[in-house]
């Protein structure tokens, strides 16, 4: 089986890593062509290292403040030559990034079957998340086999008329990745961070979504400033996304603010461990919503919609949005009401059991081996 894998941002590479590493267990049966687009740079390189990936090609497309059009155009052009040279039996990509969308379109242009990992997540709102909702919907139209993490995801695909025999519920590969990393010992090298963790109850914050750029992100910062002022026993750890558009808002907001520890994005291993150390997570990330339930940490989702309703139904996460008053009140409630907190910190994970890659590869062998 000749398989071409495509990934290129932090989250899709974390979630593709278990698939790639599972494929590598079959060197005689599988010819693997590992491509990274380089849609991210530093944030991609750290994942490649954490999972010991060995890309054969890096399209190196990233530029500062890149546009959606330039990402897609550069990936389509870059993949063309590679696909023509290798003529794979199947192309695989994960999720809803522009890397994923461009990979599926490229597969279609070359009439090569496309397998979509993490298929069927939907908000049914064209612009939220933007552009991810349409990236994944278009990818579903072009895919030949759909690996849906949950039943809800499969039902979303069925409602759109996808052939049931092409959908497989396999859980989310992010749990495979998480379990691989969470078992390893880790000690933060940064003594300032170690002191912070020792002396404070940690609230972890991440935000990067396009819908939150500008005013909503400023509102999140306002809420956080009020929280650390009123609850001095808490400290906020905030790895700030590399995107300059995020940094232009965040850095000035927190200048001179105590009890907020701003840092570069964590590498994946330390990030899993800082999640484990956290009392509460505030985030607009998709992947973090999926990981936190395994670590028993409640999540406040800083978005209007989520394509991950399973965590909300299970009680691990609360969809709060970016209204500063509402964020503040929700955090206050969870700091004061132990029963409410304990309910949210249960550890059952609705997104998978860590065997997703194995299940996925079985199907790929049946179809394309």
Q: Which residues bind ligand UD1 (CB under 6 A)?
A: 9-11, 39-44, 62, 64-66, 68, 71, 97-98, 131-132, 208, 242-244
Nearer to ligand UD1, 3 or 43 (CB): 43
Query: Among 203, 260, 288, 295, which residue sits at the site for ligand UDP (rule: CB under 6 A)?
Result: 288
Q: CA-CA distance, 289 to 294, in Å (whole number)?
A: 10
Q: Does 101 contact ligand UDP by CB under 6 A? A: no
Q: Is 23 in the site for ligand UDP (CB under 6 A)?
A: no
Q: Quick check: 260 and 234 in contact, CB under 8 A?
A: no
Does position 285 interact with ligand UDP (CB under 6 A)? The reply is: yes
Contact 57, 81 (CB under 8 A): no
Catalytic residue among 22, 34, 132, 290: 132
Counting beta carbons within 10 angstroms of the beta carbon of residue 18, is it exposed (0 to 12), middle (13 to 18) or buried (19 or more)? buried
Following DSSP, what letter does each residue of 239-254 receive, concatenated? EPPS-HHHHHHHHHHT
* Residues 256, 260, 265, 266, CA torsion sign: positive
Verify binding: residue 321, ligand UDP, rule CB under 6 A: no
Which of 208, 273, 303, 308 is labelled catalytic? 208
Look up 81 and say whether it is catalytic.
no
Q: Are 301 and 129 in contact (CB under 8 A)?
A: no
Q: Structure tokens of 130?
A: 């933007």
Indicate whether 250 belongs to the interface with ligand UDP (CB under 6 A): no
Give the shortest CB-171-to-ligand UD1 separation in angstroms: 20
The partner in contact with residue 133, picked from ligand UDP, ligand UD1, none with C-beta cut-offs of 5 to 8 angstroms by kind, is: none
Report d(CA 21, CA 181) in Å as an integer: 14
Binding region for ligand UDP (CB under 6 A) out of 19-27, 104-112, 210-218, 260-268: 260-268
**In 125-240, which ranges are continuous DSSP H helix?**
132-142, 151-159, 173-182, 191-199, 215-230
Catalytic residue among 110, 155, 210, 267: 210
Among 55, 88, 265, 352, binds ligand UDP (CB under 6 A): 265
Sign of torsion, CA 112 169 122 95?
negative
Q: Are 13 and 47 in contact (CB under 8 A)?
A: yes
Residues in the chain: 369
Q: Is the distance from CB of 293 to CB of 274 less than 8 angstroms?
A: no
288 binds, among ligand UD1, ligand UDP, none (CB under 5 to 8 A by kind): ligand UDP
**Closer CB to ligand UD1, 101 or 180, in the complex:** 101
Q: Which is nearer to ligand UDP, 294 or 330 (CB)?
A: 294
Annotated catalytic sites, by residue?
96, 118, 132, 208, 210, 241
What are the residues binding ligand UDP (CB under 6 A)? Answer: 10-11, 14, 174, 206, 208, 239, 265-266, 268, 271, 285-288, 291
């Amino acid at each position: 089986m000749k398989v071409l894998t495509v990934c290129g941002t932090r989250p899709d590479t974390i979630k593709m890593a278990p698939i790639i590493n599972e494929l590598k267990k079959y060197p005689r049966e599988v010819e693997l062509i590992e491509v990274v687009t380089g849609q991210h740079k530093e944030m991609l390189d750290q994942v490649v290292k954490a999972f010991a990936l060995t890309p054969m090609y890096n399209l190196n497309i990233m530029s500062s403040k890149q546009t959606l059009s330039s990402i897609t155009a550069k990936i389509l052009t870059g993949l063309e030559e590679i696909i023509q040279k290798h003529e794979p039996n199947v192309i695989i990509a994960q999720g809803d990034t522009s890397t994923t969308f461009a990979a599926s379109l490229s597969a279609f242009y070359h009439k090569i079957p496309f397998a979509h990992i993490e298929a069927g997540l939907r908000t049914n709102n064209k612009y939220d998340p933007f552009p991810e909702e349409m990236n994944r919907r278009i990818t579903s139209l072009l895919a030949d086999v759909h690996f849906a993490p949950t039943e809800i995801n499969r039902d979303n695909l069925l409602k759109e008329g996808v052939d049931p025999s092409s959908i497989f519920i396999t859980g989310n590969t992010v749990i495979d990745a998480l379990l691989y990393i969470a078992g390893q010992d880790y000690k933060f090298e940064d003594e300032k961070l170690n002191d912070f963790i020792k002396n404070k109850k940690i609230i972890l914050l991440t935000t990067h979504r396009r819908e939150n750029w500008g005013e909503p992100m400023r509102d999140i910062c306002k809420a956080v400033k009020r929280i650390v002022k009123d609850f001095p026993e808490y400290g906020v750890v905030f790895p700030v996304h590399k995107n300059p558009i995020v940094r232009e808002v965040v850095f000035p907001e927190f200048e001179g603010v105590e009890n907020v520890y701003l840092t570069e994005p964590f590498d994946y291993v330390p990030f899993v461990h800082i999640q484990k150390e956290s009392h509460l997570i505030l985030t607009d990330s998709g992947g973090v919503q999926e990981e936190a339930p395994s670590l028993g940490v409640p999540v406040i989702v800083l978005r209007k919609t989520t394509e991950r309703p399973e965590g909300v139904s299970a009680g691990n996460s609360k969809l709060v949005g970016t209204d500063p008053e509402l964020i503040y009140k929700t955090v206050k409630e969870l700091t004061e009401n132990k029963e409410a907190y304990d309910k949210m910190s249960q550890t059952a994970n609705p997104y998978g059991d860590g065997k997703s890659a194995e299940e996925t590869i079985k199907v790929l062998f049946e179809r394309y081996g």
